[in-house]
Structure 1
Amino acid sequence: MRFIDRSVDRLAMAEEKSIEEELSFPILLAERIRKAVDEAELFKVECGEVGKQVDRLSQMLRSVVRFATSTPSLYERSLRRIVADVSKNLERALTLVRKCKHSGVLRRVVNITSATDFRKALNHLDASVSDMKWLLSIFDSVASGGIVYSLPPIASNDPILSWVWSYVAFIQMGPLPDRIEAANSLASLALDNDRNKKIIVEESGVPPLLKLLKESGSPEAQIAAATALLNLATDQERVHIIAAELGIPMIVQVLIESPMRVQIWVANLVSKMAEHDPVAQEEFARENAIRPLVSLLSIDVVLDEPKPVDVKPSIHTIVENHMQMEKKQSTATTQKQNRSSHSRSSSSSSVYYPDAFGRYGHHRKDRENEKPEVKLELKISCAMALWMLSRGSVSNSRMITETKGLLCLAKLIEKEQGEVQHHCLMTVMEITAAAELNADLRRAAFKTNSPPAKAVVEQLLRVIGEVNNSPSLQIAAIKSIGSLARTFPARETRVIGPLVVQLGNKNVDVAAAAAIALGKFACPENFLCVEHSKAIIEFDGVPPLMKLLRANEVAQFHGLTLLCYLALHVGNSEALERARALTALEGAVRLVAAQNPSLKELIAKALYHLEVYQSGIHSHRQTYEP
């Protein structure tokens, strides 16, 4: 059983040398051993056996040198590890044979050389010979075809290591069919467990996979590479390594230029990397991954916005239009040709972005003739990628809204079902959450008169009201409306009604989400909190709200918060009085006293307001000063 030195420091030192320098050292050792064997006076037979093995190793090392110097894309990781181990065993053999040079009694006593020492040395050399045979078999197979699945002694304790070496070597140096097979095998290994993923990355598996991903002439090769990278990119550290190899701009380029079935896997890779690493998430946006994703998502979707009502243009608009006039005139002919081609191809074809798709026009016909199930899978992948890119990122959410992303998402939420609808809705939820935190994004993307914003809101309200068989979709839509609470004017009461209805939903999670969203309309930070509070009461929101107070702890907390806001802003409401809101809050203040001091304070303020308006009825009760 042999030990594999995995020391990072030693490996780093080894890789500072060229491969020729690495190979010249054991060859020099072999020559020194041959000379020492010739000079040996003790254990001459044993020394002769050592010399034979060393000669075999020397010949193999020279064969490796010839292959290494003639191969432009050499996989060095396994070669360096094996050669380092061979050098270590040759050094041991040299030390042993040199002890046999003099025959003096004192020399023999001091050195304590025995037949056992030679057996150990020969065993080590035998193992090195087997390792070198395995290495040469890899090189021979790369040239002739056929992946090697044998196990070298150096990896006897860890068979996965030899498989990884073999697969990576073929991905980097082999003919295309073997490269595809090896990439698929590597993808399967990576899928098994995290340890395999770690070994693949440590043994330099990422660079050849990225190189294979660029094989534009072979979709099968690109899919195999993308699948392997996808299975590796399951934690932040490995995503960092892919990014450090300049993988992100390469991935975006492949996303733009590849046929549709490759784009599916590449979009999945974008999703996975963005999901696990915020740095990669932002880097994809800097490399302009968002625009082609939106364009691919809009396949077979008409993105023509409704024409706005004619209004008197502002000075700013006039100046801006004037500045853009020359640019529009210079591109008018090209746009006319594009529109003509677009109308001839299909009346329902998607709006493609010239900067995203102009570079791979040779794939456009293939996309138009692609099977519907492939297009659907691409939409699922692109929607998922946009979701992961927008998650928690204001800048990426802004980029999506600056394309026709919002309108595209609204259209797909309307017409699609299943994963496409879900992923698009989750993307909208992330964008609206970012808009809630960023006033500039909120004002730019969700203006009252913005057609994309209107389309999104219409679909959110439709999902809230009609999609009763999917609580997860309803919750996402409810959260999105709540995030936009500050964008709705007082007259826009139509968004309040559907939320109030969901306060009485049998699913407690949906009802709690509705309470949270309505709380954002009624909270004091909302400039129109009084008007929105009145609307909630007018839509008969108090009875289901009081019922929610008897649900689980989470729902009760959000229900109490909303009830307090209503009491603060519309304390004189008869609906609150009929529902005995004052009594409910008095009971609640004792329950939350120890658990939530901030809610206790809010309840105290609400009680004070209610008692002011209802003092005649509740004069016997204790007054709670805020």
Structure 2
Amino acid sequence: MDFATGEDHHHQPIEHLLSSPIVLSERIRQAVDESKSYKLECSDVGKLVDRLSQMLRSFVRLTNSTPSFYDRPVRRVFSDVTRNLNRALTLVRKCRRRSVFLRVVTIVGAADFRKVLNILDASIGDMKWLLSIFDASGDISAGVVLSLPPIASNDPILAWVWSYISSLYLSPLNVKIEVANELCSLANDNDRNKKMIAEEGGIPPLMKLLKEAASPESQIAGATALFNLANDRDRARLIAGDVGVSTIVQEFGKSPIRVQIAIAKLIARMAENDPLSQEGFARENVIRPLVTLLSFETFVDEDKLHDQYRYRYQKQSIHSILEINKQITRNYQVGSSSSSTWSMNRKERESEPPELKLELKTSCSKALWMLARGNLANCRILTDTKGLLCLAKIIETETGELQINCLMTVMEITLAAESNADLRRATFKTNSPAAKAVVDQFLRLIQESEKSEITMPAIRAIGSLARTFPARETRVIGPLVKQLSHQNPEIGLESAIALGKFVCPDNFLCTEHSKTVIEFDGVVPLMRLLRGSEKTQYHALVVLCYLALHAGNSEALVQARVLTALEGADRAIVGQHSELKELVVQAIYHLNIKTKNLLEQ
């Protein structure tokens, strides 16, 4: 806030802000000349004001010769200087009369002058710092000026941030790269620094650095700094801005592989933390190029791929998907990028080392995961690109982060399909090669993987697809039943939740699936889960109740004493869930009838 005018100094026209203290200094000079009392003290004030006035004028001349500059510290310092000059003017004006009475009434004393001289000294220090930033901006050898002005004496980091951001506007490109890396390091320290960099206007010059197509190093530095800032919704949204998303997507499409890696990470971070950015990237059509880059080299050898899948999937379907994938590559355009640019980038990628190609795929897969997470529209776009088969292939052939990212992406698609019948029918049809490919991989991972971060999303995905499997597709039930006895209780819980989606009444084939669960000896491990955590007990009870309702005459339920277990179910858990209480009552009633019928026979 400008204390002289009552206006917020961030919203004042910069010309007005720069001229105000100069006008005030002239008024003070005139008031000093007119002083009748405390002439020596007024003279001391005048000397400091004259020095300050020279610095103010020098700075204004510098800004007039600079087409664009960073104005946050300028506004803050000039506002503070204006406030201090106003205090000096008020004091000196009180000294224009000699009257002893007036001197007593106005209570002017030496202490007042000491205070004013001190604040004028502080303003001179602030201006000296401000001038040093602008003077050093064109000097490559000077680098970044890091000193502490009085105005930031209580917060040194603020002075650093101001210096760094100012250098992003005024310094040569090599210094800007160094500065972006320093901001990146500063942001890594804590969230307060991130917030400060964003609030003090660091995002626009970093975005400009991202657009320096002639210098991949500057683009990487800009993208990495923005990545570190984008770890919460508000800052991600600031980066997205009016044209931020379109700028990021445009640069992603036409940049070399090292830059694409950094930008893909930025896209992932923004999509992870801000739903509006997630939607914005989809509107700018970033999903299609991400899939294309992810499938780079995956479908290079079409004959080899066909040989691998021909016994599992229809020949025509595979070829049609490959043709569509090729078409994606041919039609790959982002913003103003042309297909010739894409061809050039493709040739560059072919000559890059394998570890760089892997990093590109990994960063693209993370971006796809974050774009798909919890977003039905984006999942639909992803499946429209025919990326599902590519994801299945990578899940099959890769390991580590790339495999997990692709697995999580497909899991997000299955979660969306679970709640949306249209997506479910369109993407996971029984005769769909892509659907068969991903289900094959889910089952393989459930049976073979020893890592819970892989097994659990695969189980969850199978559960989400429960309504897509016909009764004859019993192969998906067996692995889930087996995992009920897993030594990791979280995996056992996830399996119970998945099986619950097969045997619940919402599933048209719940009766057939219930019989299959019993045939695969699922009753005993479900009974063991009743000794687990509260959440585990809940889901085990749900599945057992559905088995009792849909296959209550099964001998396995009698032998396992399911009726006794339901009657003795933890009353605390049942009492907390009204729907579970009703379900248990129905299951007990059903089992009693079946047991009575069996005895009568």
Structure-2-length-normalised TM-score = 0.91
Amino acid at match of 1:49: D
Which of residues 478, 481, 493 in structure 2 aligns to 1:512?
493
Contact 2:129 2:147 in 1 (8 A): yes
Which whole-Å deviations, capped at 9, do the CAs of 1:116-164 have from their partners, x for residues lacking one?
2222211111111111111111001112131100111111111111101
Matched, 1:271 2:257: no
**What's the % identity of the aligned pairs?**
59
Per the TM alignment, residue 377 of structure 1 is displaced from its structure 2 partner at its CA by 1.7
Measured in 1, the distance between the counterparts of 2:555 and 2:473 equals 23
CA 104–285 in structure 1, closer or farther in 2 if over 3 Å, else same: same
Amino acid at match of 2:474: T
Measured in 1, the distance between the counterparts of 2:455 and 2:370 equals 20
Matched, 1:69 2:47: no
Measured in 1, the distance between the counterparts of 2:597 and 2:515 equals 23
Query: Which residue in the other structure is 2:13 paired with?
Result: 18
Query: Which residue in the other structure is 1:371 paired with?
Result: 353
Measured in 1, the distance between the counterparts of 2:574 and 2:420 equals 33
Query: Which residue in the other structure is 2:386 paired with?
Result: 404
Provide the secondary structure at the position in 2 that maps to 1:355: coil
Measured in 2, the distance between the counterparts of 1:269 and 1:309 equals 39
CA 365–6 in structure 1, closer or farther in 2 if over 3 Å, else same: farther
**Structure 1 stretch 541-550 or stretch 28-37: which is displaced more?**
541-550
Measured in 2, the distance between the counterparts of 1:360 and 1:18 equals 44
Per the TM alignment, residue 352 of structure 1 is displaced from its structure 2 partner at its CA by 6.6
Contact 2:161 2:183 in 1 (8 A): yes
Contact 2:417 2:424 in 1 (8 A): yes
Contact 1:215 1:222 in 2 (8 A): yes
Matched, 1:605 2:598: no
Return 5+ residue gaps in structure 1 as ranges: 312-320, 322-331, 340-349, 620-626
Query: Which residue in the other structure is 1:317 paired with?
Result: none
CA 491–71 in structure 1, closer or farther in 2 if over 3 Å, else same: same
Matched, 1:289 2:271: no
Matched, 1:423 2:401: no
Measured in 1, the distance between the counterparts of 2:34 and 2:599 equals 114
Contact 2:162 2:200 in 1 (8 A): yes
CA 147–589 in structure 1, closer or farther in 2 if over 3 Å, else same: closer
CA 10–502 in structure 1, closer or farther in 2 if over 3 Å, else same: farther
**Structure 1 stretch 369-378 or stretch 142-151: which is displaced more?**
369-378
Query: Which residue in the other structure is 1:199 paired with?
Result: 196
Provide the secondary structure at the position in 2 that maps to 1:143: coil
Per the TM alignment, residue 166 of structure 1 is displaced from its structure 2 partner at its CA by 0.3
Measured in 1, the distance between the counterparts of 2:170 and 2:91 equals 38
Per the TM alignment, residue 310 of structure 1 is displaced from its structure 2 partner at its CA by 8.4
Matched, 1:82 2:77: yes
Per the TM alignment, residue 454 of structure 1 is displaced from its structure 2 partner at its CA by 1.1
Measured in 2, the distance between the counterparts of 1:606 and 1:499 equals 23
Measured in 1, the distance between the counterparts of 2:520 and 2:99 equals 110
Q: How many residues align?
A: 581
Measured in 2, the distance between the counterparts of 1:593 and 1:426 equals 33
Per the TM alignment, residue 361 of structure 1 is displaced from its structure 2 partner at its CA by 3.8
Measured in 1, the distance between the counterparts of 2:56 and 2:342 equals 47
Amino acid at match of 1:22: L
Measured in 2, the distance between the counterparts of 1:273 and 1:244 equals 12
Contact 2:245 2:281 in 1 (8 A): yes
Contact 1:30 1:58 in 2 (8 A): yes
CA 240–310 in structure 1, closer or farther in 2 if over 3 Å, else same: closer
Which of residues 165, 182, 187 in structure 1 aligns to 2:184?
187
CA 73–601 in structure 1, closer or farther in 2 if over 3 Å, else same: same
Per the TM alignment, residue 544 of structure 1 is displaced from its structure 2 partner at its CA by 2.3
Which whole-Å deviations, capped at 9, do the CAs of 1:344-401 have from their partners, x for residues lacking one?
xxxxxx9675235724444333211212222222222111111111111111111111
Equivalent residues in 2 for 1:106-505 (5 A)? 106-145=101-140, 146-302=143-299, 309=314, 354-356=332-334, 358=339, 359-467=341-449, 469-505=450-486
Query: Which residue in the other structure is 2:568 paired with?
Result: 587
Amino acid at match of 2:534: E
Which whole-Å deviations, capped at 9, do the CAs of 1:313-348 have from their partners, x for residues lacking one?
xxxxxxxx9xxxxxxxxxx9xx99x89xxxxxxxxx
Per the TM alignment, residue 259 of structure 1 is displaced from its structure 2 partner at its CA by 1.5
Which whole-Å deviations, capped at 9, do the CAs of 1:22-42 have from their partners, x for residues lacking one?
111111111111112222222
Contact 2:223 2:263 in 1 (8 A): yes
Query: Which residue in the other structure is 2:26 paired with?
Result: 31
Which whole-Å deviations, capped at 9, do the CAs of 1:287-335 have from their partners, x for residues lacking one?
1121122122222211768687589xxxxxxxxx9xxxxxxxxxx9xx9
Measured in 2, the distance between the counterparts of 1:593 and 1:556 equals 10
Query: Which residue in the other structure is 2:96 paired with?
Result: 101
Measured in 2, the distance between the counterparts of 1:351 and 1:470 equals 34
Measured in 2, the distance between the counterparts of 1:530 and 1:162 equals 70
Measured in 1, the distance between the counterparts of 2:572 and 2:150 equals 69
Matched, 1:530 2:530: no
CA 217–394 in structure 1, closer or farther in 2 if over 3 Å, else same: same
Q: Structure 1 residue runs of 4+, over 6 Å off?
A: none
Measured in 2, the distance between the counterparts of 1:425 and 1:353 equals 27
CA 182–589 in structure 1, closer or farther in 2 if over 3 Å, else same: closer
The CA RMSD measured in Å over matched residues stands at 2.5
Which whole-Å deviations, capped at 9, do the CAs of 1:486-533 have from their partners, x for residues lacking one?
111112111112112212222221122111111111111111111111
Measured in 2, the distance between the counterparts of 1:249 and 1:10 equals 38
CA 63–361 in structure 1, closer or farther in 2 if over 3 Å, else same: farther
CA 434–499 in structure 1, closer or farther in 2 if over 3 Å, else same: same
Return 5+ residue gaps in structure 2 as ranges: none
Measured in 2, the distance between the counterparts of 1:18 and 1:455 equals 62
Measured in 1, the distance between the counterparts of 2:199 and 2:252 equals 26
Query: Which residue in the other structure is 1:343 paired with?
Result: none
**Structure 1 stretch 147-156 or stretch 110-119: which is displaced more?**
110-119
**Structure 1 stretch 550-559 or stretch 473-482: which is displaced more?**
550-559
Amino acid at match of 1:569: H
Measured in 1, the distance between the counterparts of 2:257 and 2:6 equals 45
Provide the secondary structure at the position in 2 that maps to 1:588: coil
Measured in 2, the distance between the counterparts of 1:579 and 1:104 equals 108
Provide the secondary structure at the position in 2 that maps to 1:615: helix
Contact 1:481 1:517 in 2 (8 A): yes
CA 555–16 in structure 1, closer or farther in 2 if over 3 Å, else same: closer
Contact 1:589 1:603 in 2 (8 A): no
Provide the secondary structure at the position in 2 that maps to 1:302: coil
Structure-1-length-normalised TM-score = 0.88
Matched, 1:551 2:532: yes
Which whole-Å deviations, capped at 9, do the CAs of 1:171-193 have from their partners, x for residues lacking one?
12211111111111111111111
Measured in 1, the distance between the counterparts of 2:572 and 2:48 equals 84
Amino acid at match of 1:39: E
Contact 1:611 1:618 in 2 (8 A): no
Amino acid at match of 2:382: I
Per the TM alignment, residue 110 of structure 1 is displaced from its structure 2 partner at its CA by 2.1
CA 503–151 in structure 1, closer or farther in 2 if over 3 Å, else same: same
Query: Which residue in the other structure is 1:326 paired with?
Result: none
Measured in 1, the distance between the counterparts of 2:588 and 2:254 equals 64
CA 310–101 in structure 1, closer or farther in 2 if over 3 Å, else same: closer
